A and B are shown apart, each in its own frame.
Chain A
């Protein structure tokens, strides 16, 4: 049953959080019905940053459309590009050289760490602690420097191409990544000291925004948001792509279902990503970094779907091909949209201050929601 928009009972206060608001981290517009400090309803309004990426992709060739997807979930740009490249490769039935596979996974995991670092800092900032933001950026900058050296850009790298990666890794790549891992292991306990262990933080997070496993499934949540509720949904584990079935890592599960559980999933995922990187960094096989492809890619007539685990959840790329050089129809299943849809469900009845904690742990990236 949908309640009619705009009707309120006496004493309710409707406030607009966003599209310009410090806590929404972008142009998300939430219409919140409040009773005092208690939230009665949250209505997310989308569309402020809709760029019709899916439609744009229909007029771009299979090589060109990948760069646009960096602009969806810009914090895991690599992983978005990876999903698109994989989908095209599926259509072309290309075999990727082992070196490219390992490099792709390494880049994905570095991106995941960078994304979680930013999430951690931004979420702490939402809760009123400003200092962690800068500390998170110190480690994130190191990753960005590594990316800049190998891919030539810091945020929207466009490094994955159908058939492999665009360039070979930089000669310094392995050394720099190892240095980063050393740095990260030295600094990760500071995160616990400053934020995780803090009694104020724990009280802000625990028993806030409870999402049960059933609701997580029925709302289509994925990624750390669903794993915080105990739903096993790690694509890397259950539908392994590239070399994920050859590396040992743990699927992080928390059963709490509250904001703190989602927080812990992300914190521990960073450690798992480091674990994956450690296994692969010394074992990058020699060989080509890109498979031989034709100058103009043409996908056979048919439908192709690929899925990857981004830092936020499951990203699906669905391409309908008519046999031409451009996709006939393309559809991205973005994790942010489904994760946002639970906000109303988990926010009802909690305080306004909790909303930022919930939004923080859902890890919303607005361009990913709107595309």
Chain B
């Protein structure tokens, strides 16, 4: 059957036959880079359209339906518009930092793509500390936001950046702790090991209630980490007009916009990998017939299906809830999520030691 790993292997063998090993490595890297960038572009277009459609249907509207069939080219048209717009740099802005910030946001998002397993045996870099790498690199995101807020020479931007700093730093904790629960259960930080450990059932099902709690906390924490409503205090439209990207326009704004969506994709992919079994198909005990049918669905579809399901949940949050206030946001983290996830981690550790999970 057709699969991503087969294509990758064929390509690898063919390249090895044609070129010498060094050149093969270089060519493979270039191909991977191009693949990541094109995935970026496609993800940006798809997620923006998805968000607009989801929001429209929740708000009893139709959503974009003019450009292309059923409005499917709307986000492409938006991108074209943003491309031809003038990228203004405000007076008094720190030009270097101002122009650098959106690229850092993008680079961080690209780096985060490395350890994600998109399909069976299809991964850019299966490093042995994959999960740790993700939580470490995603913290760099805050630097780009702080940079943008500081360099804009705008008070709204500055306040947005400061809020975002406090927010991302604190929500990293509970996101990290809920990742740890799965790491404790699996005993490995390697992404492929984590997925392999879910071959007989996803952690959300076989990890009992602690895994479920960890999943809920993870979803809340990553929603906050990616600055999405109800935790969008960094941009808080009605308070700070647009927060840290108030002064950005044209393609620089689009890069921030794209980075936000790609970040949402990445955290949802991590969530799907950790809790929903990554590319693992859905199996029920010993229903062999049912399991066979599930196996027949390609692993990449499983992965993207799960990821988009999580993305949908995060969009659902956004279009339902009002925004929190900054002190409530920090209260939620330090008084609710952090204690709960700490106790949860203890529970999971006990469970793992006593072998209560199946």
Q: In the complex, are there CB atoms of A and B closer than 8 Å?
A: yes
| Distance in angstroms between the alpha carbons of A154 and B156 in the assembled complex | 37
Interchain CB contact under 8 A, A353 and B60: no
Interchain CB contact under 8 A, A204 and B322: yes
| Distance in angstroms between the alpha carbons of A37 and B61 in the assembled complex | 36
Interchain CB contact under 8 A, A195 and B238: no
**A129-B238 contact given A15-B155, A203-B328, A204-B325, CB 8 Å threshold:** no
Q: Among B55, B155, B324, point to the contact of A204 (Cβ < 8 A).
A: B324
Interchain CB contact under 8 A, B61 and A127: no
| Distance in angstroms between the alpha carbons of A325 and B327 in the assembled complex | 59
**CB of A107 to closest CB in B, whole Å:** 27
Within 8 A of B (CB), among A221-258: none
Interchain CB contact under 8 A, B60 and A356: no
Interchain CB contact under 8 A, B60 and A37: no
Interchain CB contact under 8 A, A356 and B59: no
A181 interface residue (CB < 8 Å to B)? no
**CB of A344 to closest CB in B, whole Å:** 18
Interchain CB contact under 8 A, B229 and A204: no
- A22 contact set on B, CB distance < 8 A: 237-238, 241
Q: Among A128, A138, A351, point to the contact of B238 (Cβ < 8 A).
A: A128
B130 interface residue (CB < 8 Å to A)? no
B232 interface residue (CB < 8 Å to A)? yes
A194 interface residue (CB < 8 Å to B)? yes
- A134 contact set on B, CB distance < 8 A: 59-61
**A198-B321 contact given A22-B238, A23-B238, CB 8 Å threshold:** yes
Q: Among A23, A37, A129, point to the contact of B322 (Cβ < 8 A).
A: A129
Interchain CB contact under 8 A, A353 and B326: yes
A108 interface residue (CB < 8 Å to B)? no
Q: Among A15, A37, A133, A200, point to the contact of B324 (Cβ < 8 A).
A: A200
Interchain CB contact under 8 A, B239 and A15: no
Within 8 A of A (CB), among B216-268: 229-230, 232-233, 236-239, 241
- A125 contact set on B, CB distance < 8 A: 238
Count of chain B residues near A, Cβ 8 A? 28
B58 interface residue (CB < 8 Å to A)? yes
**CB of A316 to closest CB in B, whole Å:** 32
- A23 contact set on B, CB distance < 8 A: 238-239
Q: Which chain A residue has the least Cβ–Cβ distance from B56? A: A134
Interchain CB contact under 8 A, B319 and A356: no
| Distance in angstroms between the alpha carbons of A323 and B198 in the assembled complex | 90
B159 interface residue (CB < 8 Å to A)? yes
Interchain CB contact under 8 A, A353 and B59: no
| Distance in angstroms between the alpha carbons of A130 and B327 in the assembled complex | 22
CB 8 Å contact bits of B44-87 with A (1 = contact, 0 = none): 00000000000100111100000000000000000000000000
Interchain CB contact under 8 A, A194 and B326: no
| Distance in angstroms between the alpha carbons of A138 and B236 in the assembled complex | 26
A370 interface residue (CB < 8 Å to B)? no
A135 interface residue (CB < 8 Å to B)? yes
Q: Which chain A residue has the least Cβ–Cβ distance from B328? A: A203
| Distance in angstroms between the alpha carbons of A133 and B236 in the assembled complex | 17
A269 interface residue (CB < 8 Å to B)? no
Q: Which chain B residue has the least Cβ–Cβ distance from A129? A: B322
A352 interface residue (CB < 8 Å to B)? yes
A201 interface residue (CB < 8 Å to B)? yes
Interchain CB contact under 8 A, B322 and A195: yes
A118 interface residue (CB < 8 Å to B)? no
**CB of A142 to closest CB in B, whole Å:** 13
| Distance in angstroms between the alpha carbons of A130 and B55 in the assembled complex | 9
**CB of B95 to closest CB in A, whole Å:** 23
Interchain CB contact under 8 A, B323 and A127: yes
**CB of A32 to closest CB in B, whole Å:** 10
B320 interface residue (CB < 8 Å to A)? yes
Q: Can you list 25 A-B pairs, Cβ within 8 angstroms, ordered by A?
A: A15-B159, A22-B238, A37-B159, A37-B163, A124-B322, A126-B238, A127-B323, A128-B236, A128-B322, A131-B55, A131-B58, A131-B319, A131-B320, A133-B59, A134-B61, A138-B60, A201-B322, A203-B324, A204-B323, A204-B324, A351-B326, A352-B159, A354-B325, A355-B239, A356-B238
Which A residues lie at the B interface, using CB under 8 A? Answer: 13, 15, 21-23, 37, 124-131, 133-135, 138, 194-195, 198, 200-201, 203-204, 351-356
